[in-house]
Chain A
Amino acid sequence: MMTTTPLTETAVAEHRSPFRRVVDVVDERMGISALRYPVPEHANTLGWSLGGLTAVSLAVVILTGIILVQFYIPDPTQANQSVRQITTGVFGGAFVRGIHYWAAQTMYVLAGLHMLRVFLTASYKKPREGNWLIGVGMFVLTFLAIFTGTVLKWDQEAFEALGHNIEAGKLMGGLGSFFSPTFAAHTPILVRLYAAHVVLIPGAILLALFIHILLIKRHRISPHPLLPDIGTGQAPVDEPTESFTRHLRRISAFGLTLVGVLGLLALIRPPGIGSPPVSGIEITRPMWQFWPMFTLENWFGLSGILWGGGALFGLLAIVPFIDRNPARHPGRRKVALVIGSVALVTYVTLTLLMLVLPAKTHLGM
């Protein structure tokens, strides 16, 4: 009769594949096995991978951005022409710019959808309130990145967006002084926004993302509201789990699809560029992300932009602090869901109104 004897540690080490050995060597020094923490099975779905896909979009934006800065000239007299040169005179430039543009759009949409999923599944509740706030902060930063990116192309739309920003800054008194052109009168404001777009904002997003990911690891993935609630803010102990690396693997698969879609969009709907800007006219419509604020501006003047933006991001920030109901099941969160739906419908309506209502020009025309 054959008997099996347990393999000694040395024997196991000798049976490892060369790849496994390399991984173990790296792990011993860098601690990458910390990524193998358990993730509940319900999280390996598309809905629970939206945050990861937002991070994929960010990676694409950064990679394409690194290429674009090699050719972009942040000088008001040449910026518009340099974007045209990238589009028409640099090999692959139009494709890279197209991917950068669409990845930024996707990042904003995915971040919004991710926040919507977190809201619907009550994942912002104790002990994850702080991480929700960091998420809202990243959403604001993404919004700012899109704004500054819009300005960098330095066409009429860019200049009008900048004009609104500067005037809104004036309304903020001392708080808005940094956004004023007089803060550094001899420096073109384009240069300052360029620095914000390529260094300050991405740096802040990466820092916030790092903390966001660490907090996810610390608090673990939140429980699914439709599964039995054990009341600890964690997934049921008996729910099957997979390691976070498996979760990353599935996000990579979704990410590959996303990159393909971005490539197709860059080819089918490449972004254009408007005429070089002039001051004193108002003829363009802002990017759709700004439409709710601009509808409010048409009704209430420039202060509508400030109040609208403040209300949007302020309401998002206070969600975990006004919703203290510990229940996660949608059936027991009717008030929160109704208020959330009203806010969402208002946001969408304000966005769509921009298409229907006649755009108004403002003082100074």
Chain B
Amino acid sequence: MHTTRYRTLLRQSVAALVIGWFVFLPATPAFAHGEGESKESRVLALDALAYLANRPAHYVDSAMEKLNDAIAAKDTTGVNMDKLTEAMHEMSAGQMMQARTALQDAIQPLSGQTFSGQMFSNHMANGQMISGHSMGEEPGTTLMLDPLKGSTNWGDSSWLLAGASALAVLAGLLLARRWRPPESLLEIRSHLTGLEA
């Protein structure tokens, strides 16, 4: 009797805990890209760089805005501000490639050392050094590359693979035809309805 009551109590407590976990743990406000714009000059400069790498003609204004914010940001750790200003001049002059190079140079120290030569802060986790910019949901990007389209320049091996693929298509179709069922659905139907009649 006591055991039954104990089990019921235990079951109810577990259910209450589970429901409480799902219901009472509040949902936090969500934004598609985090809570507001970054205050870090390095992050903002990378944003500007990304705009320039992805269809620059569409995003010149956005890139300029991010660059302005990067220059005005309070946290300028790891950023060469002279290069950032140079990037702004190049962008204002319409020299997008030069602007991009200057921007990349402005944040380059992050890949190894800071501009003053000090090592960038790393975090210890499980005895291993992990860059602070690649943990959790950090993108870890330090070098901005152009988008890479799939290459359709065919070499000899591509023609060989295309031939083998085409052969597989043909062979598959032939075998599927050869191994098709002896009767169509209509024939099966008339056969069955004939039997019923």
Contact = CB atoms under 8 A, between A and B. Distances in A.
Interface residues of B, number: 87
Contact of B147 (A92, A172, A275): A275
A301 to B, nearest CB: 9
B181 A45 contact: yes
B165 A263 contact: yes
A24 interface: no
Contacts of B133: 76-77
Given A42-B188, A224-B185, A279-B43, A94 B33 contact: no
B8 interface: no
Contact of B150 (A94, A276, A302): A94
Given A87-B150, A188-B135, A260 B51 contact: no
A163 B32 contact: yes
Interface in B111-157: 123, 125-126, 130-131, 133-152, 154, 157
Interface string B151-192: 110100110011011111111110110111111010011011
B180 A250 contact: yes
Given A84-B145, A171-B30, A172-B27, A257 B173 contact: yes
Given A44-B181, A258-B172, A170 B148 contact: no
Interface in A159-218: 159-160, 162-164, 166-168, 170-177, 181-182, 185-189
Given A263-B162, A278-B47, A163 B33 contact: yes
B77 interface: no
B158 A272 contact: no
A280 B166 contact: no
A279 B126 CA distance: 26
A53 B139 CA distance: 37
Contacts of A280: 33-34, 37-38, 43-44, 47, 66
Nearest to A184: B136
Nearest to B45: A278
B33 A362 contact: yes
Contacts of B33: 160, 163, 167, 279-282, 362-365
B104 to A, nearest CB: 12
Nearest to B150: A270
B32 A263 contact: no
A41 B181 contact: yes
A174 B150 contact: no
B169 A164 contact: no
Nearest to A258: B172
B50 to A, nearest CB: 4
Q: Considering the complex of A and B, which 9 residue pairs feature the smallest CB-CB distances, nearest first?
A: A270-B150, A76-B140, A263-B165, A257-B172, A260-B168, A256-B172, A362-B32, A260-B169, A186-B125
Given A163-B137, A174-B23, 19 more contacts: A77-B141, A92-B157, A171-B28, A186-B123, A186-B125, A256-B172, A260-B166, A261-B165, A263-B161, A263-B164, A263-B168, A275-B50, A276-B139, A280-B34, A283-B50, A361-B32, A364-B33, A364-B34, A365-B32
Interface of A: 41-42, 44-46, 75-77, 80-81, 84, 87-88, 92, 94-95, 98, 154-156, 159-160, 162-164, 166-168, 170-177, 181-182, 185-189, 224, 226-228, 236, 238-240, 242, 246, 249-250, 252-264, 267-283, 297, 302, 361-365
Interface of B: 21-38, 43-44, 46-47, 49-51, 53-55, 59, 62, 66, 123, 125-126, 130-131, 133-152, 154, 157-158, 161-162, 164-173, 175-176, 178-183, 185, 188-189, 191-193, 195-196
